[in-house]
Chains A and B, each alone.
Chain A
Amino acid sequence: MKIEYQDKTMALSEITELNATNSSTLRDEARAGLKHDVTSLDIDLSRTRFVDSSGLGALIALHKTMCGRGGSVRVINPTPTVQQVLELTRLHRVFEIVMTP
């Protein structure tokens, strides 16, 4: 996973899978990387081939963390498979999903 910062946005990318074995690590590393001025978290899922319910749990945990500090989470370019899972579990109503060209 790669972490980058731009202004008040922290961006996570290069996530290939979000499953029961790696999602807590991702969550903890992302939380640790949150500098005090970050108000927006972008999670790039364009290279994520697989997300299971544990992965969804990690995304929600980060969403709660960000809400707690008055910020928000955006999910960027999820793959069709991942988008279907988000829609099936109705989490597309929770996260802002952004598709960029």
Chain B
Amino acid sequence: MSAGPSISGVSISCELPCDLQSVAPFCLQAREFLGRAGVSETEMDPWELVLTEAANNAIRHCRPGEDQPPIRVDLLATAEWVEARITDHTPGFEWPEKAELPPDDSESGRGVFLIQNLTDESSYLLGRGSNCLCLRRHRSAPKRVPAPPNPPAEEELREVRHTLDLMTEELASTYESLSAIFRFTTELQESGHSGGFVERWLKQLLVITESDWVVLRLCDSSNRELVVSAASVDDWQGEPLPLKAPAPAHPSVEVRAATQLSDVWFDPGSPLLPGDPLTHVAGKGCGFAHPLLVSDTLIGVLSIGRHDGARLFQSGHVSVSQTLGDFLGLQVRSTQLQKEQVRTRLNARDLEIAGNLQRSLLPDQLPTLSGADLAAFYRSAREIGGDYYDALYVGEGSILLVVADVMGKGLPAALFAFMFRSLLKARRDLAAEPGKLLEWLNRNLFVELDRTDMFITAQLVLLNCQRREMRISSAGHPPMILANSNGTTRGTSRGGPPLGILVGAVFPEEVHSLGDGRALMFSDGLIEARNPAGDLMGLDPVTAAMSEAARLGESSEATRQRLTRLLQEFEHSAEAADDTAFIVIACTRPN
């Protein structure tokens, strides 16, 4: 075992033979190291468990009966976090995005779950010949004098803030890459050639992935050679690499990626072989070569890396590199072939993920309460949107209804809808004053929204069936439609600005009595629906439908169906351009 100071903390490295008996003594040494690094006893227990699970897992994946290279464990402790890297030389194993617990009667299958739940970040990087499990856990703040009992939501809020920080980080890079894709694609279509586009694209990629160098090789027209198309290194023109010639005994990393059609990794543990052309740019650093495929056909290889071999790539940066690399390949190909259609396929996975996230936001069913009956409708325009509705119990006889619309679509919109919901749920104790709750949401979302030039319109309605009233507050959201049982209708006020526009914004509240009419909360997708001729539906047909519903004393479900029919008949064959969400409130006399 060797230990010593590292760049910004203390570190230790050791090697474990592929034998389960070696794990416990190692963990005791690791505890000693963590103790010297000032890690508290209570934080050591989770680390001991995490390291045990990780080492056991690596050892169990060793091929039996073979002379196995040892498992290497590197531990690094800084003032803010502790990081462990467990390098194995096994064929590798599946690392789930989020491990689930097995059934209660299962005798195995909890190791990865424990690791993921006891660390803040975890990723498993598969390489050829060696794989690395990277784990990181933030250190808790030094102990302070115990504070007086927490306000009810504080702990939950802390968790939400932490999740938010992680998501914002992720979102910032995703959003950047999405806007870069949009910008460059537009430029490419306008200019019609791919020359400067590729260079600017690669620069963007370096920034997003915090890498030091990148090399793009494309197949020549006969698919016989990989030719350098662009590189971030000046004054370097790598020789073409033959693909079809008899394979050399020790092919270069790029050729291996091109022939295996899979990523090939290198780092100081499994360095580039002498003579590999990438040695010129990579030195002794780390990185990987990623084959660029279009419809299973190789069109090139993108290699990317860092000079510091210890700064291994985190999974987030790897997936951004792969996604952007694939996208770049696709753009180059589509320019070559003038085929626009090819482009969409690569985004399918991102769209699918965001779509799942978006759907998971919506409540399975609306709560029921005496005095009001509720029905909701949601439709997403394409795979993903930023509309969100919810109904939360907030006390006896009270429900907080929410309709919100995040500007834009895609992953950023879905993530902001998710953030909005998490914050809202954390502070349902503020629901008695929806205006104050909006102010709080605005303050807490402002920085992230402002940074990404986005905003959210939202409407909160506190439905109190005991007092027979609705307390309404809006942030730039379309006014509600209130309809009396005699058929007259009126709108509510517009309220304050959308969230994310003005940091100290105030959101007025208005109170309406429940009566025995009908009320409608909706997102703008409802009144901005278009027919095949391109005309907007507007507010009038919706108001008329609500008036009729109130006059007839329809159930909320019947009104929901009435509005759905209205929408379908108006749009006819036109494709919906925006998401649509609405909640119908049918006020009834309590039993």
A interface residues (Cβ-Cβ under 8 A, vs B): 17, 19-21, 50, 52-54, 56-58, 60-61, 63-64, 81, 84-85, 88-91, 93-94
Q: Chain A residues near B24 (CB, 8 Å)?
A: 17, 19, 21
Whether B108 lies near A53 (C-beta < 8 A) is: yes
Q: Which 7 A-B pairs have the closest CB atoms?
A: A57-B107, A53-B110, A53-B111, A81-B45, A20-B20, A52-B52, A20-B56
Whether B114 lies near A21 (C-beta < 8 A) is: no
Asked whether any CB of chain A lies closer than 8 Å to the CB of B105, the reply is yes
Whether A94 lies near B104 (C-beta < 8 A) is: yes
B interface residues (Cβ-Cβ under 8 A, vs A): 20-21, 23-24, 45, 48-49, 52-53, 56, 101, 104-111, 113-114, 117-118
A81 to B48, CA, bound (A): 11
Partner of A20, one of B23, B106, B110: B23
Q: Chain A residues near B105 (CB, 8 Å)?
A: 60, 63-64, 94
Whether B56 lies near A52 (C-beta < 8 A) is: yes
Q: Chain B residues near A61 (CB, 8 Å)?
A: 107
Q: Chain B residues near A60 (CB, 8 Å)?
A: 104-107
Q: Which of A53, A56, A57, A61 has the most CB of B within 10 A?
A: A53
Whether B108 lies near A52 (C-beta < 8 A) is: no
Partner of B101, one of A50, A54, A89: A89
Whether B114 lies near A93 (C-beta < 8 A) is: no
Q: Chain A residues near B108 (CB, 8 Å)?
A: 53-54, 57
A50 to B49, CA, bound (A): 8
Report the nearest B residue to A91, measured CB to CB.
Answer: B104
16 additional A-B pairs beyond A20-B56, A60-B107, beta carbons within 8 Å, are A19-B24, A19-B52, A20-B20, A21-B21, A50-B52, A52-B114, A54-B56, A54-B108, A57-B108, A58-B107, A61-B107, A85-B114, A88-B118, A89-B113, A89-B114, A94-B105
Q: Chain A residues near B48 (CB, 8 Å)?
A: 50
Partner of A21, one of B20, B101, B106: B20
Q: Chain B residues near A89 (CB, 8 Å)?
A: 101, 110, 113-114
Whether A53 lies near B101 (C-beta < 8 A) is: no
Q: Chain A residues near B56 (CB, 8 Å)?
A: 20, 52-54
**Nearest Cβ distance between residue B82 and chain A, in whole angstroms?**
17
A81 to B41, CA, bound (A): 11
Pull 22 A–B residue pairs with CB atoms less than 8 Å apart, ordered by A. A19-B52, A20-B20, A20-B23, A21-B21, A21-B23, A52-B53, A52-B56, A52-B111, A52-B114, A53-B56, A53-B114, A54-B56, A58-B107, A60-B105, A61-B107, A88-B117, A89-B113, A89-B114, A90-B104, A91-B104, A94-B104, A94-B105
Q: Which of A19, A20, A58, A84 has the most CB of B within 10 A?
A: A20
Q: Which of B107, B108, B118 has the most CB of A within 10 A?
A: B107
A52 to B56, CA, bound (A): 10
Whether A52 lies near B49 (C-beta < 8 A) is: yes
A82 to B107, CA, bound (A): 17
